[in-house]
């Protein structure tokens, strides 16, 4: 008797969820952030519907501060796979010159949370897949796989729909929506092992390479373009760094690493002593900042 491995079980669960959304939700979309979790999501969507292409579009919320290599990767993958890739940015924010250097936390609110809500409203999506995992952050650990959002896209942690067996309740009224997290039960290790097993294409930034960086607050930050604000004390160094998570380059810390292959990354990750969100500056602001953002409509 063939038994399913731990990764097979996680894959089956995610595909079941993705198919339920495609079958039951009126206008679904898959959020695509270009990171490794998004790469896994995209891969699962391709597998779930093979030989058909995924019966929904993908949406990237572009803060305009993503790593250049991410944007290149996004455009290349969309073209190779023939999938519909929508890109939305908060043009008001762009006009006002909102940036991570001057605007701190409100930068994330305006260019990510607000942009996401705009993007979802613009196309009238009733369900949006996200790559969130419960092992990432405490508030996510308690969120349902099908996470109900009201007309303001807000999450109410005290009033979540109970989720029984695989009987997901996908019903929403007009204007309300679902955020759906097929990777809820995956850990960072599972993601890397799955990428390895399935030979999933990921952004080269995950692999160590000599890159121009500045050392700030315990993180190596990539000098990705000439918008980078150099402080008088900053010194651009060339270091072998890789990134465990990818977001906006001024907010994403790189790690010193020699890991240039997936095997080496997994080796490093399995022995990791720092969980991945530490390299995202946003969570460090205050205990519970992620929960606040989620209540306001962030993923």
Partner 1 sequence: MKKLLRFITCGNVDDGKSTLIGHLLYESKLLFADQEKALELDSKVGSRGGEIDYALLLDGLLAEREQGITIDVAYRYFTTDERSFIVADTPGHEEYTRNMAVGASFAELAILLVDATKGITVQTKRHARICALMGIRHIVVAVNKMDLVNFEQQRFEAIKRDFLTLATTLDFSTIQVIPVSATNGDNIITASAATPWYEELALLPYLEAINVEEDALATFTLPIQRVSRPNQDFRGFQGQIESGRIAVGDEIIALPSNERAIVKQILVTDRTEQEAVAGQPVTVQLSKEVDVSRGCVLTTDTTLTTAQKFTAHVLVLDTEPLVIGKNYLCKIGTQTIAGVITAITHKINIENGDLVAAESLQKNELAECTIALAEPVIMSTFNTHHTLGSFILIDRLTHMTAACGVIQNLEQTTSIFAQQTTVTAAIREAQKQQRALTLWFTGLSGAGKSTLANEVEKRLVLLGHHTMLLDGDNLRLGLNKNLAFDEASRSENNRRIAEVAKLLNEAGLITLAACISPLEQDRKQAQNIIGEAYIEIFISTPLTTCESRDTKGLYAKARQQEIEAFTGISSPYETPKKPHIIVDTTSLSIEQATDKIMRALASYL
Q: Does 104 bind partner 1 (CB under 8 A)?
A: no
Are 266 and 208 spatial neighbours (Cβ–Cβ below 8 Å)?
no
Q: How far apart are CA 90 and CA 95, in angstroms?
A: 9
Choose between 157 and 210: whose C-beta lies nearer to partner 1: 157
Are 241 and 211 spatial neighbours (Cβ–Cβ below 8 Å)?
yes
Across the beta sheet with 85-88, the strand order is 85-88, 58-61, 28-31, 127-129, 177-180, 146-149
Tell which one of 81, 86, 160, 237 touches partner 1 (CB under 8 A): 160
What DSSP string describes 254-284?
Answer: EEE----SHHHHHHHHHT-SS-GGGGBGGGG
Query: Interacting stretch for partner 1, rule CB under 8 A, among 26-34, 41-49, 238-246, 247-255?
Result: 41-49
Query: Interacting stretch for partner 1, rule CB under 8 A, among 4-12, 91-99, 221-229, 259-267?
Result: 4-12
Tell which one of 79, 189, 197, 227 touches partner 1 (CB under 8 A): 189
Q: Does 22 bind partner 1 (CB under 8 A)?
A: yes
Query: Interacting stretch for partner 1, rule CB under 8 A, among 25-33, 135-143, 208-216, 237-245?
Result: 135-143
H/E element, 116: helix 115-123
What is the nearest approach in angstroms of partner 1 to the Cβ of residue 25?
Answer: 12
Query: Interacting stretch for partner 1, rule CB under 8 A, among 13-21, 211-219, 226-234, 259-267?
Result: 13-21
What is the nearest approach in angstroms of partner 1 to the Cβ of residue 87?
Answer: 26
Q: Does 52 bind partner 1 (CB under 8 A)?
A: yes
What is the nearest approach in angstroms of partner 1 to the Cβ of residue 54?
Answer: 11
Q: Which residue has the tokens 């705009």?
A: 118
Per-residue binding string, partner 1, 163-182, x by CB under 8 A, is xxxxx-x-xxx---------
Alpha-carbon separation of residue 250 from 101, 177, 297 (angstroms): 8, 31, 23
Choose between 236 and 272: whose C-beta lies nearer to partner 1: 272
Q: For 233, phi and psi rounded to 5 degrees?
A: -85, -10
Q: Does 275 bind partner 1 (CB under 8 A)?
A: yes
Handedness of CA 231, 234, 239, 244 (dihedral sign): negative
Cβ-count burial 18-54 (b if 16+ within 10 Å, e if not)? bebbbeebeebbbbbbbbbbbbbbbbbbbebbeeeeb
User: What residues line the site for partner 1 (CB under 8 A)?
Assistant: 1-6, 8-12, 15-16, 19-20, 22-23, 46-53, 134-135, 138-139, 141-142, 157-158, 160-167, 169, 171-173, 184-185, 187, 189, 272-275, 277-278, 287-288, 291
């Amino acid at each position: 008797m063939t038994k399913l491995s731990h990764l097979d079980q996680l894959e089956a669960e995610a595909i079941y969820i993705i198919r339920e959304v495609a079958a039951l939700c009126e206008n679904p979309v898959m959020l695509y952030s270009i990171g490794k979790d998004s790469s896994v999501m995209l891969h699962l969507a391709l597998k779930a519907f093979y030989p058909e292409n995924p019966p929904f579009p993908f949406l990237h919320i572009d803060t305009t501060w993503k790593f250049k290599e991410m944007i290149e990767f996004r455009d290349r993958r969309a073209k190779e796979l023939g999938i519909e890739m929508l890109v939305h940015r908060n043009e008001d924010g762009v006009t006002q010159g909102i940036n991570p250097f001057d605007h701190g936390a409100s930068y994330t609110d305006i260019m990510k949370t607000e942009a996401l809500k705009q993007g979802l409203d613009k196309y009238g999506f009733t369900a949006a897949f996200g790559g969130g995992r419960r092992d990432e952050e405490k508030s996510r650990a308690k969120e349902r796989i099908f996470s109900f959002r009201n007309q303001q896209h807000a999450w109410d942690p005290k009033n979540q729909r109970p989720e029984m067996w695989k009987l997901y309740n996908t019903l929403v009224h007009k204007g309300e929506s679902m955020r759906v997290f097929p990777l809820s039960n995956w850990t960072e290790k599972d993601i890397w092992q799955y990428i390895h097993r399935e030979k999933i294409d990921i952004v080269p930034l995950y692999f160590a390479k000599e890159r121009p960086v500045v050392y700030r607050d315990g993180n190596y930050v990539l000098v990705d373009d000439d918008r980078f604000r150099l402080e008088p004390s900053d010194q651009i160094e060339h270091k072998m760094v890789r990134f465990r998570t990818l977001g906006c380059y001024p907010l994403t810390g790189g790690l010193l690493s020699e890991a240039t292959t997936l095997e080496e990354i997994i080796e490093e990750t399995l022995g990791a002593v720092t969980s991945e969100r530490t390299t995202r500056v946003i969570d460090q602001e205050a205990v519970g900042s992620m929960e606040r953002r989620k209540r306001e409509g962030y993923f």
